[in-house]
A and B are shown apart, each in its own frame.
Chain A
Amino acid sequence: MATDTDSLVAPRETGAPRPRGSARSARSTRSARAAARRPGGRRRTGVAYLFLAPFLVLFLVFVLAPAVFGLWISLTNWSPFRATQSFVGLKNYIELFTPGSTTSGDFWQSMLATGIFTVASVPFLLLVPLLVAVLLNQRIRAGSFFRATFFAPYVLGVAVIGVIWKYLLDTQSGIVNHVLGMIGLPDNLPWTVDVPWAWITLVGVTVWWTMGFNTVIILAGLKGISADLYEAAALDGAGAFRQFVSVTLPGLRQVMTFVVTITILASANMFGQSFLLTKGGPGNTTRTAIMYIADQGLSQNNMAAASAMSYVLFAFLAIISIVNFRLQRERAEKSAS
């Protein structure tokens, strides 16, 4: 699972995935309780909190307190240039849902941008790594060279990627348009200027950047599928495709659940690619929710409104996570029965 150390308290852009493992946590707390009931398991509260202290201090100050503080800010008319703030109840939230207010139009446009990007990118961020992982899983030479090459873009960092591809996709000076022109396609496509090209750019660059990350995880999952299962399927007369569907995919279930979750969350939190490649353009069409919230909160000093927006986004993502989790559980239960 990817660390989300920074993601928990400081925003990151897509590509640095975050874990989901709620199903596993239920199992492990049960086992923990069982362990406690074993002979020798007695309460050692003082020692425990000593172990927990370094983490808890950071956690309280930079995770719990801000979460509550942020909620509080969203219920006030917070301004950093005023000494005292006043409570305004749900005014900020109501304004977000009121058409015609200064923030609602832009906010929902940015949510739409986030939605479009997530829906457009997640399938590619799952299928391409899956395909590449299957390719890498064959008996080939230099497999680890290929694996490292595909992973390499991820270590470069989002800004390097953004800067590089902004140039490569430049309408007039970028080599991509030139190559397209050479093979007979239009050579003046506005990759970073206009939609729908900008969406293709954002999705494409994200795939190029983070494909290796998901590939590597899926590849490990593939290697964990026993060869006997393939043998059995082959003996039953299954061809390559049938084997893929009935052996590979089920065997990848746990890994894919993980990858799907982190990918959806990473896409929903996308910031860097929009900021660097399209600057949210044309107009504000590709300005994602994170871009808008950060701009409103820290540049326009609309901290209260921005906090409210972040909680609305949270609610959306929570609903999606719960739905995703339920779907996964249903599918798992269905296949188990």
Chain B
Amino acid sequence: MTTVTSRPGEPGADAPEQPRRIPARRKQTPQQALRKSVLYAALIVLALIVILPLVWILLTSFKTDGDAIRNPYSALPNPFSFDAYATIANGQQPVFRWFLNSLAAAALQSVIILVTASLAAYALARLEFVGKRIVFGLIVATLLVPPVIFLIPNYLIVQNLGWLDSIWAITIPGAASAFGVFFLRQFFVGLPQEIEEAARIDGAGDLRIFLQIVIPLARPALATLAVLSFLANWNDFLWPVYVLLSPENLTLQPGLSQLQGAYSTHFAIVMAGAVVASVPVLILFFFAQKQIVESVATSGVKG
């Protein structure tokens, strides 16, 4: 338990410009010190609840099969073994390939969403046209519809397009993002129009205004949409389970489910798969976490 002294005026790691408490206390009272300790303790406990399971999984992945079943409660592998990883690498469960597939699909869909939604949002925010109310109304209406409505009909459509077992099946159908259009439209509407009007007077066309004025101003909203779209596709489970067939075309989520099914109680192997699926993601996340977390954070405040 650490006692933390807070010096007045010194901001915390992520405290904003404005201080939270009544300022100008010269020294910290024991009561305040206790509060701080409890606070840190609580946060550390919570952080451990997140981290410890992952550590346990990592340790298990280095056990041999028999060891994992016979001694499930011992923390240290005995013997320390890469057998589980060897099985993953040599077997029919290409976990790293699944990771790459997920990466490609999520990236592709995010790009398509950003492009199509921003173009559509601009039209809805800045242009007057016949049928504007209907189009916008339809888009908003579909926000209320649960995804399962589209499951079977889209399956039949994708099947007829010949897209089963391909990356198109898991990226194109979901690329029509009514939410994306709605979210960006709200944002565009909130942008001041003076610069655009000035450019229009200068003779710039809509596309130029869109590309050179609106898009640069919309960067935070676009980043948010990109992050959210990426995470949504990354997390997609039900749809890929049904439309992806060959083992090498699977993405991470259905793939891991299949790994679990194939090796159900060979815990070391399943955990090794989970580790291979998690480590690259976590590395990417910790490099980009500030951007990612802040993008998600602003989604609730802006929208």
A and B directly contacting (CB within 8 A): yes
The distance from the CB of A272 to the nearest CB of chain B, in whole angstroms, is: 5
A219 to B294, alpha carbons, bound, how many Å? Answer: 10
Per-residue interface assignment for chain B, residues 231 to 248, with 1 indicating a CB less than 8 Å from any chain A CB and 0 otherwise: 111111111001000000
A137 to B20, alpha carbons, bound, how many Å? Answer: 8
Confirm or deny: A163 has a beta carbon within 8 angstroms of a beta carbon on chain B: yes
Picked from A140, A148, A226, A271, the residue with its CB within 8 Å of the CB of B293 is A148
Confirm or deny: B90 has a beta carbon within 8 angstroms of a beta carbon on chain A: no
Q: Are A66 and B129 within 8 A (Cβ)?
A: no
Across the interface, name the chain B residue whose C-beta is closest to A48: B129
Picked from A8, A56, A167, A230, the residue with its CB within 8 Å of the CB of B150 is A8
Confirm or deny: B64 has a beta carbon within 8 angstroms of a beta carbon on chain A: no
Confirm or deny: B16 has a beta carbon within 8 angstroms of a beta carbon on chain A: yes
Q: Are B175 and A58 within 8 A (Cβ)?
A: yes
A189 to B288, alpha carbons, bound, how many Å? Answer: 39
Centre residue among A15, A132, A298 by max chain B CB count within 10 A: A298
Q: Are A4 and B179 within 8 A (Cβ)?
A: yes
Q: Are A155 and B290 within 8 A (Cβ)?
A: no
What is the interface residue range for chain A against chain B?
A: 35 or more
Q: Are A12 and B146 within 8 A (Cβ)?
A: no
Centre residue among B43, B130, B142 by max chain A CB count within 10 A: B43
Q: Are A3 and B177 within 8 A (Cβ)?
A: yes
Q: Are B253 and A6 within 8 A (Cβ)?
A: no
Q: Which of B97-153 contact A (CB under 8 A)?
A: 102, 109, 112-113, 115-117, 119-120, 122-133, 135-136, 138-140, 142-153
B136 / chain A contacts, CB cutoff of 8 Å: 29
B185 / chain A contacts, CB cutoff of 8 Å: 28
Q: Are B146 and A265 within 8 A (Cβ)?
A: yes
User: Chain B at the A interface: mostly helix, strand, loop or mixed?
Assistant: helix
Q: Are A168 and B232 within 8 A (Cβ)?
A: no
Q: Are A307 and B152 within 8 A (Cβ)?
A: yes
The distance from the CB of B292 to the nearest CB of chain A, in whole angstroms, is: 8
Q: Which of A120-157 contact B (CB under 8 A)?
A: 132, 135-157
Q: Are A67 and B12 within 8 A (Cβ)?
A: no
The distance from the CB of A95 to the nearest CB of chain B, in whole angstroms, is: 17
Q: Are B182 and A21 within 8 A (Cβ)?
A: yes
Q: Are A5 and B128 within 8 A (Cβ)?
A: no
User: Chain A at the B interface: mostly helix, strand, loop or mixed?
Assistant: helix
A218 / chain B contacts, CB cutoff of 8 Å: 300
A317 to B147, alpha carbons, bound, how many Å? Answer: 11
Q: Are A51 and B146 within 8 A (Cβ)?
A: no
Confirm or deny: B47 has a beta carbon within 8 angstroms of a beta carbon on chain A: yes
Across the interface, name the chain B residue whose C-beta is closest to A296: B152
B148 / chain A contacts, CB cutoff of 8 Å: 11, 269, 289-290, 293-294, 310, 313-314
Q: Are A173 and B69 within 8 A (Cβ)?
A: yes
Picked from B129, B149, B193, B299, the residue with its CB within 8 Å of the CB of A1 is B299
Which one of A38-46, A97-105, A195-203 contacts B?
A: A38-46
List 6 A-B pairs, Cβ < 8 Å. A6-B236, A66-B149, A132-B46, A160-B256, A164-B274, A223-B16
B residues in contact (CB < 8 Å) with A: 4, 6, 11-16, 18-22, 36, 39-40, 42-43, 46-47, 49-51, 53-54, 56-57, 60, 68-69, 72-73, 102, 109, 112-113, 115-117, 119-120, 122-133, 135-136, 138-140, 142-157, 170, 172-183, 185-186, 189, 193, 197, 200, 206, 210, 225, 228-229, 231-239, 242, 252-257, 259-260, 265, 267, 270-271, 273-274, 277-278, 281-282, 285-286, 289-290, 292-293, 296-303
With A159-B257, A306-B152 already in contact, 11 other A-B pairs whose C-beta atoms are closer than 8 Å: A9-B154, A16-B231, A19-B182, A54-B115, A140-B12, A147-B293, A148-B289, A149-B50, A217-B300, A255-B300, A313-B146
- Lowest 4 CB-CB distances: which A-B pairs, in order? A10-B239, A3-B228, A217-B300, A48-B129
